[in-house]
Chain A
């Protein structure tokens, strides 16, 4: 839903500053230069929030506010005063008429957004709305953990990614970091003293800049009460210690809504390459399987007719991998793609041990497969 914010101020400068402040958020800014224009605009547009100055010509803000509150159609619209009129008595008098908040000029744009964000659910506009972020795009991950070894472990475990992992040990540092550069994801240790993790989670959720930032809880496996509490509060995922870094990476990518297809599929020259990683967990196989059809179809659409299925990194063959390979070969046949397989010596040996995979032909290297795809004998397909 796109929110409407009406700014009523005789100063064009203030109206421009308000527009500038809300620029990064999914809302429409409406403008009026005095109370009369403001009332007409409010009646016509039914804004979700009115920012109202006091001293204006034609009709001032106090009169406009009084009229809003006596009009059944308008009285439900939240009003925030944005005015240089800030003496205690005047503020109290105006507050009694009925305002949701009061911001005295001069003001910082961040403060205006923070206060508005408490009244309407401001959503930041994506900087690149048309392009889904991929696993090759940089991102910042904030780890709030007072044990440097854990931060180091996460940094080491994710160093092959383009993500920057920043560790802080206190709630205050985390808040400062979020204010300076809102991270793409936050991991908070539940073992921080005095419920710091839960307090921090609430603060992150009330800040308009981080209210949609995924937050993971980091906890010892046996601390089930804390895990339940985190789930109830709305943490995006629970990461248990000792940390499975591969699982963490997958969860981070999922939470950040990244396009993971490039992890498994790439076009190199005139070939589509399908790659499986060293550790083929059920999650990874499911992910690779989900992207398969659209990726192969897109390759065909782009004029490619060759696929190399590269499993040389796979450590051991199991039924999940075999099923996915059958699926890849069948999809290739359905789309009239020629395909070739690449594997290491151990996988090739293991394939000989299964009746269904015994007839598969492998190349030793990707280059060899790319050069010979289409020339190799047709792979035998059997039902698994």
Chain B
């Protein structure tokens, strides 16, 4: 299917906003709201951390997409919210989750990221950019910065969700 529209910041913003809302509403019954506009690609140097809350511990899910457009999305969720999301998804209490361990949280956030990036990517597919998802991976930390390669464009969006913040950091390799 030929591309029906250019990949613009507006298309990316609409897609990621729709994807995050759809996933969090469907799976967790919570409605996130987009709070910040994207950083324009030219404004990102030097690369800031996408971590929304400074040094608080975060779980970061990553899923890529490959095809007519290549990219990677990092979904930043603070650890407390990641625990809440996992409990809700799996029907567990906080004590049960503590007993189950961090791997369960990693897997749940990996799946939430997979759904979010899948939903984002399906929007690109339907605009004519065929691509496939990669397998999710997880980063954990309190204070770190991800630096994209020079050819990549970066778009960062922050969301408020039930008194928690989350961020979607999108790295895209756009063709000229």
In the assembly, what is the distance between CA of A268 and CA of B138, in Å?
66
Q: Which residues of A contact B122 (CB under 8 A)?
A: 84-87, 104
Say yes or no: is A20 at the interface (Cβ < 8 Å to chain B): yes
Binding site for B on A (CB under 8 A): 10-14, 16-17, 20, 54-57, 83-90, 104-108
In contact, A87 and B125 (Cβ under 8 angstroms): yes
Provide a sorted-by-A list of 17 A–B residue pairs whose CB atoms are within 8 angstroms: A10-B135, A12-B104, A13-B90, A13-B104, A17-B89, A55-B114, A83-B118, A84-B117, A86-B122, A87-B122, A87-B126, A89-B125, A104-B118, A105-B118, A106-B23, A106-B26, A106-B115
- Beyond the given A11-B111, A84-B117, could you list 12 further A-B residue pairs with CB under 8 A, ordered by the A residue number? A55-B132, A84-B122, A85-B122, A85-B133, A87-B121, A87-B130, A88-B1, A89-B125, A90-B130, A105-B115, A106-B26, A106-B119
Query: How distant is the Cα of A86 from the Cα of B27 in the complex, in angstroms?
Result: 17
Cβ contacts under 8 Å, B115 to chain A: 84, 105-106
- Report, nearest first, the 10 A-B pairs whose CB atoms are least far apart: A84-B118, A87-B125, A106-B26, A13-B111, A86-B122, A11-B111, A13-B108, A105-B115, A106-B115, A106-B23
- Interface of B (DSSP majority class): helix
Q: Is the CB of B133 within 8 A of A106?
A: no
Q: Is the CB of A89 within 8 A of B1?
A: yes
B173 in contact (CB, < 8 A): no
Tell me the smallest distance from the CB of A54 to a CB of chain B, in Å: 8
- Is B47 an interface position by the 8 A CB rule? no
Question: CB within 8 Å of A: which of B12-61?
Answer: 22-23, 26-27
Interface residues of B (CB under 8 A from A): 1, 22-23, 26-27, 86, 89-91, 104, 107-108, 110-111, 114-115, 117-119, 121-122, 124-126, 130-136
Q: Number of A-B pairs whose CB atoms are under 8 Å?
A: 76
Distance of A85 Cα from B134 Cα, bound (Å): 10
How far is the CB of A319 from the nearest CB of chain B, in Å? Answer: 60
Residue of B nearest to A111 (CB): B26
Given A84-B114, A84-B115, A106-B119, A20-B135 contact (CB < 8 Å): no
Q: Of A17, A87, A105, which contacts B114 at CB under 8 A?
A: A105
Min CB gap B10→A, angstroms: 20
B111 partner, pick from A14, A54, A57, A104, beta carbons under 8 A: A14
**Bound complex: CA A90 to CA B1 (Å):** 11
A13 near B118 (CB under 8 angstroms)? Answer: no
Q: Which chain A positions have C-beta within 8 A of B131?
A: 87
Chain A residues positioned under 8 Å from B86 (CB to CB): 13
Instruction: Kindly list chain A residues whose C-beta atoms are within 8 Å of the C-beta of B108.
Output: 13
User: Is A84's CB under 8 angstroms from B125's CB?
Assistant: no
Residue numbers in A under 8 Å from B107 (CB-CB): 11-13
Q: Are A16 and B125 in contact (CB under 8 A)?
A: no
Which residues on A sit within 8 Å (CB–CB) of B22? 106
